[in-house]
Every structure is written in structure tokens, then in C-alpha cells.
Amino acid sequence: MTLKVVPINTITATRRKILHAAYKCAAKNGFNRLDVEEVVQRAGVSRKILYSYFNGLENLMIELGCSGIYWPTTEELLANAPAQFPDLPPEEQVGAFFSALRRTLETRPDTLKLLAWEMLERTPLSEVLEDIRIRTALEFFEHLTPDVPDDADLAAAVALLGGGISYLAIRALTTRHFGGVSLQEEIGWERMEKTMNQMLKGLLFPC
């Protein structure tokens, strides 16, 4: 599937209303119960208008994923990384991705609800959003300098850390502490990010 990227600053007001309505409906009801009728009612438009813009739910979800509403763009993640990002050692650059991801997800509680739904419901619509996340991570890691050692399984490390960060961010919606670490205070996340960087350093540059 070829993803159509529509820059967020070019989205018309009507298009944006439909995207936000779909975002809210999916976060509330999940993927299996995402319904065009509820989306158009929330957006205040007709089915005809929705289909003229998106031609159905799949295209709507593709554009939602690419819009920056649901998932942070590579540019947003880089903007949330340290200013000295290009000069950081690779383990800190990888860590910076997950720290930036966590901060941007905090501003998107509906995205966290969608991630929780995705654990329960595997559908073509959820797979569309998963593809967006994978592409964004790959784009970010293209900025890594220097190269990661050949014997380091960066993909496995990213899967473990990404899963952990996503899970804990979802838990933070309703849980104050996890394993004795605060999920709703910055000091707790700072502890975990420090430990994450120590783990990455051991992986990428073991003594």
C-alpha cells in the first residue's frame, strides 16, 4: 500500500474536522466498532462529504496516521530531542527517540487509547496505523550517527523499548505507579530514561 502524505498545514478545516472525529471515535469505540455514521455525526458533515474527501474508512485512517494528529511526525520527534542530537553518542540518540516519543504521546491521550485497543483488536484499520509508526521510527533512525555496530541487534532493542514505553504510557492514563516507579510524575520517567540509556550503552558499546 502506498501511503499518501498530506502535510498538516495544508489540511482544510472540513478535512481536519473529519480526521479529528475519526480519531475521537476510534479512541472511544475501538477499530471493530468504528462507524462512518458516528464519524460524520461528530464531524457535522454528510456521508457524501466524507466519501468525497476520503472514499472510505481505510483512506481516512491512512491520512489520520500521516497528519501528525494521531502520531508525531519525524520532525516533531526531532524537535523534542536535545538540540545537540547530531553530536550525541548513538546510545543517547536512540534513547532520545524514546524520550521524545514518550513526551509527544503524553499530549495525545487518545492515541494511547488507540494503542490499547490495538492490543485487543487486530484489523486492517489498526494495521494502517501500525505501518505509520514503523515508517516514522525508520525515518528517525536514518538520522543516527555514527552507525550502530553490526553485532548489535538494534531492531530487537527498539521493539523491546518501544513496547515498554508504549505500555507504560498507556498504564499512566489510569495508574500512578508501576513497579514502584511513578508514571505520573516526571521524576519517575527521568529514572526510567536514565536506566534506558545505561542499557543501550551496554548494548551498543559494551566494555
Domain ranges of the chain: 8-66, 74-204
Distance separating alpha carbons of residues 166 and 181, to the nearest angstrom:
16
Q: At what angle do helices 154-171 and 124-141 cross, to 10 degrees?
A: 120
Cell for 119? 492490543
Q: Which CATH number fits domain 74-204: 1.10.3470, 1.10.357, 1.10.8, 2.40.50?
A: 1.10.357
pTM, full prediction? 0.86
**DSSP code at position 106:** H
**What local confidence, expressed as pLDDT, does residue 152 receive?**
77
- Tens-of-pLDDT digits for all 207 residues of the chain? 444 444 444 468 999 999 999 999 999 999 999 999 999 999 999 999 999 999 999 999 999 999 999 999 999 998 998 888 888 888 888 889 999 999 999 999 999 999 999 999 999 999 999 999 988 888 888 877 766 777 778 788 888 888 999 999 999 999 999 999 999 999 999 999 999 988 888 877 676
Query: Please, what CATH class does the domain formed by 8-66 belong to?
Result: mainly alpha
